[in-house]
Amino acid sequence: MKTLIIFFSMGGRTRQVAQTIATELHNDEVQIEELKYGGKKARSLVNEQDAVRRGDLSHFTFNPAILNLAPYDRILFGTPTYGGLPSPVFEGFLENCKNAAGKEWLLFGTCRLSQGRTFNRMREIIEQKGGRIITQQMFKGFFKINPNKVKAFGQSFNK
């Protein structure tokens, strides 16, 4: 099975989760890709979030080949929680990607306190594109996320 792990991380917690999940997937051919923000400061993303949600990823660096999801059987998407919703990068990515229909989607997120409507919003967007949500997992932690929970999540896909 060919799996694509896509994630966005500002502070590094979501990056750590994505990398840990990738190391635990033993039965898959795994490709991991980060959507990196190139703005001067994290606050800049707040000012650009509406444009990013509409698909303007011009301030992000990433492998443009991942916008075509045809080669992948399943997609894991990871995002931090922003005000109880997924980061605007998630919506911007989905605005630009092709061939999401029929794909299996596994969602993961990070938050400090509350996940809010993060997964509900992600589900709405993915289902509009014809994708199927297989599972979702929020990793909570104010400063640190329990690595054993992340490993268990990744290992669960090896069955």
CATH code of the domain in which 117 resides = 3.40.50.360
Q: What is the pLDDT of residue 101?
A: 94
This prediction's pTM: 0.92
Q: At what angle do helices 13-24 and 147-155 cross, to 10 degrees?
A: 40
Provide the CA 105 distance to its chain's centre, in angstroms: 10
The tally of domains found in the chain comes to 1
| Terminal-to-terminal C-alpha distance of the chain | 12
Q: What is the pLDDT of residue 42?
A: 65
**Low pLDDT (below 50) residues in the chain:** none
96-128 per-position pLDDT tens digit: 999 999 999 999 999 887 888 899 999 999 999
Q: What is the pLDDT of residue 63?
A: 96
Domain assignment of residue 119, given as a range: 2-158
Rg (CA), the chain: 14
Distance between CA atoms of residues 75 and 2, nearest Å = 9
